[in-house]
Amino acid sequence: MATVAGTFTGRSERPDVLSGTPRAHAIDRWIFVFMAAWFIAIVLTGFIPDSLEKVAAVQAGERPPFPLVLHVHAVLMGSFLSLLLAQTTLAATGRIDLHRRLGLAGMILATAMPLPAGIDRIAWLPSTMPWNPMSADLYTLLAVSPMFF
């Protein structure tokens, strides 16, 4: 009854002129690649000038050198952004098989990001906190390491 009544309302639905067209498929595929590249551009725009200033301060002896954990953090976060770009590019180019395989790693790594907050609260673990966050990062790497073996 509801379907019959719906046809007699006199209102016609507005046709979707973009769906099903090659242009719509291209937008649907490549918008995520654009967004991943946009996120990378934002991060680089924010971090490059700041990092260059801090490196200059280290070279001038105005601040201590960066701890190893900051380098590890930078590599991991950069890798995560690269993973996002790779995932979106694989999907846009139709390589769904690789996209799905790589997606498993991305899903696990994304959910591993809050692990340091939990690890910091395990009182019986040896820790370098609060002077150095390296222990939380190392425990997080240890927690995700089975995925790489």
Residue-range domain boundaries for the chain: 29-113, 114-149
Coil, helix or strand for 14?
coil
Contact 33, 85 (CB under 8 A): yes
pLDDT exceeds cutoff 70 at 112: yes
Q: How far apart are CA 37 and CA 4, in angstroms?
A: 48
Instruction: Name the most confidently modeled range: 22-26, 107-111, 142-146.
Output: 142-146
pTM of the model: 0.62
Q: Rounded CA gap, 58 and 96, in Å?
A: 45
Chain-centroid distance of CA 99 in Å reads 14
**Amino acid identity for residue 74 in this structure:** A
